[in-house]
């Protein structure tokens, strides 16, 4: 579905953001792209969507070159930015009526159901909705679009606890097996129990790219009251010492995404401990 080869990108008069970046993805995954603020997550999504153009390298998304902005490509990609982009003078329902014809598999019934579950009035003008409610309208649009590729930039930013829970639930239930979602976020806890795959972007490079199942098979996550001698990575917390070990005979544990992120961005070569690694660029 996506192939990125030797991609270079920089903004004018700023240091290079990506240099010789390589990555690829197949169909049917919910992928979490984790990174600190300023790591380039939003820029990467915009490059995939054809809104920013790489300086060098090769990029293929759904068999298209995104920067050409072909109509057949645009019909299959839905991008929800972090900032508010919705037309405030329209209601969510009216905006749906205008947008739906552009997407061949848009499901209007699903859109209405999602707004009900998100507790958003579809007839209220968007400008009168809170930031969180506006974000829910955009997410409902994306999840109803039927697009092969959905790009979400900080989708839980502005949502309250119940809104985040509803988003996670609907994300899993609404998507079909032939759709791929890439979620860029620094709010790591908000993605728990939703991801199939995680990629960690740091200092302009993808430092880790792996399936959650492989991480759970290969690594053991735990908490101890004292230091663990054979830990790959550890850090103190209010509960004790959180640690990551290479898994041997231990029972499988839930992947602690926050601890994994801290380990990778601290320079720990987590990928070397995995039984099988997807694309990895260091």
State the average pLDDT for the chain.
92
74 phi and psi angles, rounded to 5 deg: -65, -30
Give dist(CA 155, CA 277) in Å, integer.
27
> Which of 72-76, 192-196, 209-213 has the least mean pLDDT?
192-196
Report the C-alpha gap between 113 and 87 in whole angstroms.
21
pLDDT band at 282 (very low <50, low <70, confident <90, very high): very low
Domains of the chain: 2-195 (3.40.50.300), 210-282 (no CATH)
Exposed / middle / buried, residue 154 (Cβ in 10 Å: 0-12, 13-18, 19+): buried
Residue 237's pLDDT is 87
pLDDT at res. 281:
37
Q: What is the pLDDT of residue 280?
A: 39
Q: What is the pLDDT of residue 218?
A: 94
Q: What are phi and psi of 168, to 5 degrees?
A: -60, -45
pLDDT band for position 27 (50/70/90)?
A: confident
Q: Is 112's pLDDT higher than 50? A: yes
- 261: pLDDT strictly greater than 50: yes
Range scoring the smallest mean pLDDT among 108-112, 138-142, 193-197: 193-197
pLDDT confidence band for 278 (50 / 70 / 90): very low
pLDDT of residue 277: 42
Per-residue pLDDT band at 40 (split at 50, 70, 90): very high
Pairing of strands 240-246, 219-224: antiparallel
pLDDT at 279 over 60: no
* Secondary structure class of 233 (helix, strand, coil): strand
């Amino acid at each position: 579905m996506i192939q990125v080869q030797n991609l270079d990108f920089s903004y004018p008069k700023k240091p290079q953001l990506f240099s010789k970046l390589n990555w690829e993805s197949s169909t049917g995954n919910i992928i979490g792209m984790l990174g600190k603020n300023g790591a380039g997550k939003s820029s990467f999504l915009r490059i995939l969507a054809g809104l920013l153009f790489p300086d060098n390298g090769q990029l293929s998304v759904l068999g298209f070159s995104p920067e050409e902005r072909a109509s057949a490509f645009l019909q299959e990609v839905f991008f929800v930015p972090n900032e508010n982009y919705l037309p405030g003078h329209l209601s969510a329902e009216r905006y749906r009526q205008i947008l739906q014809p552009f997407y061949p598999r848009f499901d209007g019934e699903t859109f209405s159901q999602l707004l009900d579950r998100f507790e958003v009035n579809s007839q209220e003008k968007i400008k009168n909705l809170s930031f969180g409610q506006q974000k829910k309208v955009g997410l409902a649009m994306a999840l109803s679009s039927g697009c092969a590729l959905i790009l979400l930039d900080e989708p839980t930013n502005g949502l309250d606890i119940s809104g985040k829970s509803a988003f996670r639930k609907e994300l899993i239930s609404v998507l079909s097996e032939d759709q791929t979602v890439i979620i860029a976020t620094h709010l790591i806890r908000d993605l728990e129990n939703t991801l199939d795959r995680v990629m960690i972007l740091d200092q302009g490079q993808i430092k880790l790219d792996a399936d959650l199942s492989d991480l759970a098979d290969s690594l053991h996550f735990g908490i101890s009251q004292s230091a663990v001698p054979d830990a790959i990575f550890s850090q103190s917390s209010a509960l004790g010492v959180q640690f990551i070990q290479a898994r041997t005979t231990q029972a499988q544990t839930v992947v602690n995404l926050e601890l994994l992120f801290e380990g990778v961005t601290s320079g720990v070569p987590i990928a070397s401990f995995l039984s099988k690694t997807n694309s990895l660029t260091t």
